[in-house]
Amino acid sequence: MGIAAERIERLHDLARAAAADGDDDRARYYVRLARRIAERNRLRLPRSFRRFTCDECDRYLRPGKNARVRLQDGRVVVTCDCGAHARYPYRDREQPDRD
């Protein structure tokens, strides 16, 4: 893991801690900084980081606090307080595939 990837992981941890403490502005700063580092170094953000940040307002999402999570037809729909939606596929292991 390179220096940039380590820094992104550290910023993810800091953003999570800041959001848990209720300091949304600091968490947003960490998210923006991590995205900028990833862009400069042509790295993909880790999946856990992408799933817990809003693409529109760069807020660190905490389900139940500033994000709503719903399941719809094989998708997880995460709605931020700003109104942005993110949809992620999931596969229910108990039901057979629809063909």
- Looking at residue 91, its pLDDT comes to 79
Provide the whole-model pTM.
Answer: 0.84
Average pLDDT of the chain to the nearest whole number: 92
> Does residue 22 form part of some domain?
yes
Q: Tell me, what's the pLDDT at 39? A: 96
All residue ranges of the chain with pLDDT < 50 are: none
24 within domain boundaries: yes
Q: Is 76 exposed, middle or buried (0-12, 13-18, 19+ CB in 10 A)?
A: middle
Domain containing residue 38: 3-89
Predicted pLDDT of residue 97: 58
Residue at 41 is within a domain:
yes
99 within a domain of the structure (yes/no): no
Name the percent of the chain lying above pLDDT 90: 88
* Residue found under tokens 């999402």: 61
Beta strands in the chain (DSSP E): 67-72, 75-80, 85-89
Number of domains in the chain: 1
